[in-house]
């Protein structure tokens, strides 16, 4: 009878260990979301004759524009890495949805910002992505 109790205790301990391992595995699993927002990402190559103040005004203008255009949720203005390498800046704008992204292009605040941005932009590449 002692052997049976020992086996039962060993099996119970094994079950508890297995349950704890499974719980730890599930808790440690990477979780992520697939938001339905639209992300607008732009890489910029400044003109050779633009100066740092003009470039800063263009980037700072994105924040002002974002405060005026409905449907902009977030902005990113500080580049970590810019590709292609001969480009100088990158920024991103997150829109609530595709309709907000479409409205942004024709909004007066965007048009006003573009007047500051275009003269110092030699070339840019933009993409939009959503889920």
* CATH code for the domain in which residue 96 is found: 3.30.70.100
Question: How many structural domains compose the chain?
Answer: 2
pLDDT band at residue 42 under the 50/70/90 scheme = very high
| Co-location of 25 and 70 in the same domain | no
Per-residue pLDDT, 2: 53
Residue scoring higher pLDDT (3 or 117): 117
Res 44 pLDDT > 70: yes
CA–CA separation, 75 and 93 (whole Å): 5
> For residue range 96-120, what is the model confidence (pLDDT) as tens digits?
999 999 999 999 999 999 999 999 9
The answer to whether 130 and 33 are in contact (CB under 8 A) is no
Per-residue pLDDT, 88: 95
> What residue numbers bound the domain in which 23 lies?
1-31
| Co-location of 76 and 26 in the same domain | no
Per-residue pLDDT, 7: 75
The answer to whether 75 and 93 are in contact (CB under 8 A) is yes
Extended beta strands in 5-111, E state: 38-46, 72-76, 89-95
**What is the average pLDDT score of the chain?**
90
């Amino acid at each position: 009878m002692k052997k049976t109790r020992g086996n039962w205790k060993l099996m119970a301990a094994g079950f508890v260990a297995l349950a704890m391992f499974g719980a730890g595995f599930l808790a440690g699993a990477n979780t992520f979301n697939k938001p339905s927002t639209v992300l607008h990402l732009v890489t910029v190559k400044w003109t050779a004759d633009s100066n740092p103040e003009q470039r800063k005004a263009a980037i700072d203008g994105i924040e002002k524009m974002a405060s005026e255009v409905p449907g902009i949720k977030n902005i990113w203005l500080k580049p970590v890495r810019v590709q292609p390498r001969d480009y100088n800046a990158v920024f991103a704008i997150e829109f609530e949805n595709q309709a907000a992204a479409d409205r942004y292009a024709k909004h007066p605040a965007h048009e006003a910002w573009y007047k500051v941005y275009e003269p110092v932009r030699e070339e840019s590449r933009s993409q939009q992505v959503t889920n």
